[in-house]
Amino acid sequence: MTKPKTFPNWPDMEGMDELVELALNLHWCWNHASDWIWKGLDAELWETTQNPWILLRTASRDKITAQLANPGFRKVVQDCLAEKQQSFAEERWFQKNHSGAGLSLAAYFSMEFMLTEALPIYSGGLGNVAGDQLKAASNLGVPVAAVGLLYGQGYFRQAFDADGNQQALYPVNDPGQLPIRPLREPNGEWLRIQIQLGESKIWLRCWQVSVGRNKLYLLDSNDFSNDAAQRCVTSELYGGGAEMRLQQEIVLGIGGWRLLRALGLQPEVCHLNEGHAAFAILERARSYMEDHKVPFELAMAITRPGNLFTTHTAVAAGFDRFDSKLLGKYLHQYTEEELAIPFEHLLEMGTEGSGDPFADPFNMAYLAVRGSGRINGVSKLHGQVSRHIFQPLFPRWPEDEVPIGSVTNGIHVPTWDSEEADALWTQACGKKRWLGDGPRAEDIRCLTDEQLWQMRGLSRKKLIEHVRKRSRRPGVLDENVLTVGFARRFATYKRPDFLLRDPDRFIRLLNNAGRPMQLVLAGKAHPQDLPGQALVKEWNDFIKRPEVHERVVFLSDYDMLMAQELVQGADLWLNTPRRPWEACGTSGMKVLVNGGLNFSELDGWWAEAYSPQVGWAIGDGKDHGDDPSVDAAEAEAMYTLLEQEVVPEFYERSGNGLPAKWLARMRESMAQLTPEFSANRAIRDYTINHYFPAATGYRHRADGALGNEILQWLQKVAEQWHTVHFGPVRVETHDGHHCFTVQVSPGSLLVSDIKVELCAMPSVIQPMTPTGKAADSSGNITYSAQVAATRPASDYTARIIPHHPAIAVPLEANQILWQH
């Protein structure tokens, strides 16, 4: 640990080390036991930054000395530290239930992490998921080591000019002001690693972030040993062009895996949070090659089952793609010298397979699919969408059988609940409700209407206070009015202008004399997204109208602190994406614990969460593309629901002055949805259904000769599949059954290498079995199957697919032959 005397404002006295330890573990950002300590050092700076490390670096020596000399202050510090250490030492869900499951560590790679505003290395949803899952893993005791990048400027910050246009600002992330510390060698030297980046090498500095029980490791290229261009590689998140993005993804994937090895860590599982980190697959295989003196193909066959790819993209155009020449500039030497394979081989791993790997752009998601043993989308609907997107990688396979599942995202509830909500949940479910299987719905259903409404009133009042302070408009909004929250990235597919389709009708909703409505919105458009920026300006133009000026506020610079304020205070959360382009969406999940209700398009998570008892829905649950007539119809339905049901329900009061219907919906939303759409549930799902099988699959192939057997089998099937063919097929129908027989020649393969099935789309698959007779003189074997004659025999088709008990088909072997 860095000694206090390193910083001139720190007194060299007892208690300083404890303050440093508390400040440098981000546990404080969701466990608020130490908040009193930081407020005691500088209440105003704490409120502004929510960053204890800045407080320690900024507060005067006299102030720190005086506080440490106060026995009451010292006791709070000691108690907080003791509680933290005891909490990290105790067994949690993982240790209690799965200590013998064979998982010692999962490595989690992500381009961004949203953990706290004190560490601004995130943009939005992807980072939100990564940060929340890392916190939940800590709460549950799941061993995870995360890997990301430390950006010199991070994502852009937003301001509005006098005309309402978005301005992009890039303040510097000063590492000395961030709650991170350099990784050190045993001799005290700063840990730096070197990787090949094109024709030259680049040095990467290594940092550590403590996130509860687990660690986040960060890399940055701002090392003085690098030239100016190299030092800027990690300067901006999602900034620059394709070349900077490719360089960053090489640093993340290749550099990140090398960092784990430099630390002596040996994860069984490599979890790729989106395709940005797919180069980690290559470096993991290269490391295995180096350790075991085997070729790349064998190393890939052995390590692949241990890789998990989570895709967050709902449109094919959203994946990172790189021109083959650009890829060659930076990876040709790595591929041919370190992987010892032709560069064309790498290109084939990232292209669709048109025959010329140089003709198509290199798709990072394709590389992730071809290098992973498990793949998932981030909601049930997104799993379906992803199967469609990746179907070209599995030619002739039915879309429903494309090997992509789903794990619906969830949010780390302790990060997003308000103080008032936390008190209520603690009363109902206890303090340790998120450290195991989660709270019980029946406990929340026991809360009274009075308790729920008091919590909502206090939370709404706090939000309005925050809005007035941020907007510098002391009279804006009313704490007794239905408050709607709308905050997200301003992109056209999210339709952030939906409420403005009929501005006069919207104004009538806002200014209804007996049942008014008010709106707080926020969101950024990417600096290169001109249509999105036009939508930002459209809202800023609208709120200049005098009749809405006190009812609508557009807050600039949407960040994590602002998101917490919004989701804690909003009564209703509105979400209007164009289905099915929202992979999951998590903003609406954050209002659940705080008693907010959702009014959303039936897309992403809401498509599986919605019922009339818990909120309201937009759309018919079908995909309509960008049909403008559908947009118009859905906007009309949205206005009508607001006018006739949503707003009236908020204001309809029973004899005790409370909105009984609204509160009943609140209670069910909190009870049913909060546990289900929590990161607690998501991490348990990942651990049991993905991490454990991935770790087992990797170990089985790494132990003994199985990996080599599998590689030889895969090569044999690929080379000899063309020799497999069908003979005649015959069907007889009697006694209410169709009886199928078909001649099959396995060609140069063994009978055990294939599986014959009878299929009727979309989902009937019936195994066909050999009749027991020996092969005929032509080498054909007769297979048969019997099915109920509930469908015409013409609906059924026989097919042949590869079969090996230790291989995932079609993920690893996608050959298929249909009988015609």
CA distance 178 to 171: 13
Mean pLDDT of 557-584: 96
Q: Is the peptide bond before 295 cis (omega within 30 degrees of 0)?
A: no
Q: Whose structure tokens read 């299929």?
A: 759
346-405 pLDDT per residue, tens: 999 999 977 788 889 999 999 999 999 999 999 999 999 999 999 999 999 999 999 999
Mean pLDDT of 531-549: 96
Structure tokens at 771: 């009749």
> Is the dihedral angle over the CA atoms 702, 708, 712, 715 positive or is it negative?
positive
Mean pLDDT of 322-331: 96
**pLDDT band at 250, cuts 50/70/90?**
very high
Q: Whose structure tokens read 């030239």?
A: 227
1 has a pLDDT exceeding 50: no
Strand 572-575 relative to strand 597-601, pairing: parallel
Q: Whose structure tokens read 């009236």?
A: 648
Whole-angstrom CA distances from 647 to 242, 514, 549, 599, 633 are 47, 10, 20, 12, 20
* Residues 6 or more apart whose Cβ sits within 8 Å of residue 512: 647
Strand 106-110 relative to strand 144-149, pairing: parallel
CA distance 602 to 580: 9
4 has a pLDDT exceeding 50: no
Mean pLDDT of 134-144: 98
Whether the Cβ atoms of residue 738 and residue 792 lie closer than 8 Å to each other = no
3-state DSSP call for residue 10?
Answer: coil
Check residue 775 and give its pLDDT.
64
Check residue 774 and give its pLDDT.
64
DSSP category for residue 775: P
CA distance 165 to 533: 7
607-661 pLDDT per residue, tens: 999 999 999 999 999 999 888 999 999 999 999 999 999 999 999 999 899 999 9
Whether the Cβ atoms of residue 509 and residue 515 lie closer than 8 Å to each other = no
Q: Give me the phi and psi of 795, to 5 degrees please.
A: -70, -15
Looking at 471-516, which runs of residues are DSSP E strands?
482-487
305 has a pLDDT exceeding 50: yes
82-136 pLDDT per residue, tens: 999 999 999 999 999 998 899 999 999 999 999 999 999 999 899 999 999 999 9
* Residues 6 or more apart whose Cβ sits within 8 Å of residue 561: 50, 117
727 sits in which H/E element: strand 725-734
Q: Is the peptide bond before 580 cis (omega within 30 degrees of 0)?
A: yes
3-state DSSP call for residue 729?
Answer: strand
3-state DSSP call for residue 765?
Answer: strand
Mean pLDDT of 579-595: 96
Looking at 526-658, which runs of residues are DSSP E strands?
552-555, 572-575, 597-601, 615-618
DSSP category for residue 361: P
211 vs 318, which has greater pLDDT? 211
Q: Which CATH superfamily is domain 102-158+165-409+691-701 in?
A: Glycogen Phosphorylase B; (3.40.50.2000)
Residue 449 CA from chain centroid, whole number: 35
Check residue 666 and give its pLDDT.
97
> Is the dihedral angle over the CA atoms 522, 528, 530, 532 positive or is it negative?
negative
Q: Which residues of 356-370 are buried (b: 16+ CB within 10 A; e: fewer)?
A: ebeebbbbbbbbbbb
Check residue 777 and give its pLDDT.
62
CA distance 116 to 131: 8
Whether the Cβ atoms of residue 88 and residue 682 lie closer than 8 Å to each other = no
Structure tokens at 608: 């599986």
725 has a pLDDT exceeding 50: yes
DSSP category for residue 498: G
The share of the chain scoring above pLDDT 70, in percent, equals 99
Q: Give me the phi and psi of 69, to 5 degrees please.
A: -80, -10
Whether the Cβ atoms of residue 216 and residue 146 lie closer than 8 Å to each other = yes
Domain 102-158+165-409+691-701 and domain 418-677, same fold? Reply is yes
Q: Whose structure tokens read 């590869």?
A: 802
Structure tokens at 66: 């005086």
Check residue 259 and give its pLDDT.
98
Check residue 738 and give its pLDDT.
95
Q: Which CATH superfamily is domain 418-677 in?
A: Glycogen Phosphorylase B; (3.40.50.2000)
* Residues 6 or more apart whose Cβ sits within 8 Å of residue 760: 787, 791, 795, 796, 797
CA distance 212 to 534: 41
Whether the Cβ atoms of residue 352 and residue 366 lie closer than 8 Å to each other = yes
Whether the Cβ atoms of residue 793 and residue 738 lie closer than 8 Å to each other = yes
Mean pLDDT of 745-760: 95
Quick one: which of 267, 278, 153 has its CA closest to 221? 153
3-state DSSP call for residue 272?
Answer: strand
- Return the domain boundaries, the chain: 4-89, 102-158+165-409+691-701, 418-677, 719-818
773 has a pLDDT exceeding 70: no
> Architecture of domain 719-818 in CATH?
Sandwich (2.60)
482-516 pLDDT per residue, tens: 999 999 999 999 999 999 999 999 999 999 999 99
Check residue 3 and give its pLDDT.
46
- The average confidence (pLDDT) of the chain is 94
Mean pLDDT of 135-155: 96
Q: Give me the phi and psi of 819, to 5 degrees please.
A: -80, 130
Mean pLDDT of 395-421: 97
Quick one: which of 684, 683, 691, 689 has its CA closest to 268? 691
> Is the dihedral angle over the CA atoms 271, 274, 275, 276 positive or is it negative?
negative
